Structure 1
């Protein structure tokens, strides 16, 4: 008998990058897709610059906990490269990592960026994106998080229409232009993953 398993997503970044917003969008999109989904509390320092992470679990069967064991995540969405390394041990062997290359180097002792990138590139299933360049091209300073969500969406069982609906509702209070820019960033991210092998 093929018993549905529990899937997990880890989101990591620093305070002020929107980890909570991305987790809530993910949770709602999964639920609207007919899945059982739970989100952990946001762990870490919520103030700008502090390390932050959240976990989202989903399955076709009811869940009792949103907490993942090490090696239990199918997907790691990291808004900061060093934060990606901090949580990469959470990934399954065949998991996927989508990570912003733009560092938040406010902390003392930040390692050389070339070393961080080299370590990330050894991770099977790693997808690095220059979110700073993407933000410039889209003329949207905060495009990075939504672009990463767009990349991550290629590995999740959620229809395009559901993503668009949830994102539009999330930003509608901020006006049509903000909503449009976030949808544009989401689609730009989706376009960066052409063949989601093992999705």
Structure 2
């Protein structure tokens, strides 16, 4: 088993939290894991990107070569499209459909949607809406994580346990809200596949 994952988004959206949950769950599942992050501009709403490599065998490098990525997880659609050169021909893009417009020359939303439509393997969902239904817009990243569960090859219970451990210091209500968000994202992905 080997999964090469690129996580992308804009600073403050929770991309690194998704990477933390996946990494923790992978280790609980007895897998090897390497991660590399780029988040220098994250404080200003800039690009945040993380390479996450998971395998049942030792991993030599933490960087994913072009054309070898199995999964792009993106909280921002344009940021997801930015990393398409890394995606393998059989790889999947799982992305939020809602843009985070933080630059003056952001492409038209119709152009972004047209590019997404061209992809053969994609799940595009309104994570913001689903997060609000789960209890808070702040769990949008966990909704997106839930939508990637079918592609990760990691035991779902280990992902749930990792969420519980990461958020337990914030109280049981926050843990339960995140678990609802995870389940909602998973359910949507399973219907769209």
Task: State TM-score, norm by structure 2.
Answer: 0.94
- 2:17 maps to which residue? 21
Secondary structure, counterpart of 2:45 in structure 1: coil
What is the CA distance between 1:141 and its match in structure 2? 1.1
Q: For the Cα contact (< 8 Å) 1:49–1:104, is it kept in 2?
A: no
Equivalent position to 1:108, from 95, 104, 111: 104
Q: Does 1:90 align with 2:76?
A: no
Output one character per residue of 1:127-155: Cα deviation in whole Å (capped at 9) or x when no partner.
00012221232231122210111111111
Moved over 3 A (4+): none
Q: For the Cα contact (< 8 Å) 2:146–2:184, is it kept in 1?
A: yes
Secondary structure, counterpart of 1:39 in structure 2: strand
Q: For the Cα contact (< 8 Å) 1:10–1:75, is it kept in 2?
A: yes
What is the CA distance between 1:48 and its match in structure 2? 3.7
Secondary structure, counterpart of 1:154 in structure 2: helix
Q: Does 1:68 align with 2:64?
A: yes
CA distance in 2, matches of 1:44, 1:96: 26
1:14-163 equivalence runs, <5 A: 14-163=10-159
Q: For the Cα contact (< 8 Å) 2:131–2:143, is it kept in 1?
A: no
What is the CA distance between 1:120 and its match in structure 2? 0.9
Q: For the Cα contact (< 8 Å) 2:163–2:175, is it kept in 1?
A: yes
| Alpha-carbon distance change, 176 to 130 in structure 1, aligned in 2, over 3 angstroms | same
Structure 1 stretch 148-157 or stretch 38-47: which is displaced more? 38-47
Aligned Cα RMSD in Å?
1.5
Secondary structure, counterpart of 2:42 in structure 1: coil
Structure 1 stretch 72-81 or stretch 127-136: which is displaced more? 127-136
Which structure carries more helix by proportion?
Answer: 2
Q: For the Cα contact (< 8 Å) 2:71–2:91, is it kept in 1?
A: yes
Secondary structure, counterpart of 1:34 in structure 2: coil
- The aligned length equals 193
Structure 2: gaps spanning 5 or more residues = none
